[in-house]
Amino acid sequence: MAKEQVAAQEALGTAMNKTELFFEKNGKLMSYIFIGLLIIAALVFGYRSLIVLPRAEKAAEMIAQAQSRFEAENPDYELALNGDANGAGFLDVIDQYGSTPSGNLAKHYAGICYLKSGDLENAALYLAKFSPVKGLPGALVNAQNYGLQGDVAVEQGDYAAAVKFYEKAIAAADNNMTAPLYLRKAGLAEKAQGNNAGAAAYFQRILDTYPSSMEAREAEKLLGSINQ
CA distance linking residue 76 with residue 90, whole number of Å: 12
Determine the pLDDT at residue 226. Answer: 85
pLDDT digit string (tens) for the chain, length 228 residues? 444 344 434 443 444 444 445 444 543 444 344 434 444 444 444 444 544 566 677 878 888 899 899 988 898 999 999 999 899 999 999 999 888 888 889 999 999 999 999 999 999 999 999 999 887 778 899 999 999 999 999 999 999 999 999 999 999 988 988 999 999 999 999 999 999 999 999 999 999 999 999 999 999 998 888 876
Could you tell me what percentage of the chain is helix, strand and coil, using 3-state DSSP and rounding each to the nearest 5? Answer: 80, 0, 20
Burial of 218 (0-12, 13-18, 19+ CB in 10 A): middle
- Strand stretches in the chain, DSSP E: none
One-letter-per-residue 3-state SS of 50-80: HHHHHHHHHHHHHHHHHHHHHCCCCCCHHHH
Contact 182, 169 (CB under 8 A): yes
Contact 170, 176 (CB under 8 A): no
DSSP state of 48: I
CA distance linking residue 228 with residue 220, whole number of Å: 12
Contacts of 201 (CB under 8 A, 6+ apart): 187, 190
pTM of the model: 0.76
| Domain assignments of the chain as residue spans, ordered by start | 142-228
User: What's the topology of domain 142-228?
Assistant: 1.25.40
CA distance linking residue 187 with residue 137, whole number of Å: 26
CA distance linking residue 202 with residue 219, whole number of Å: 9
**Cross-strand bridge partners of residue 84:** 87
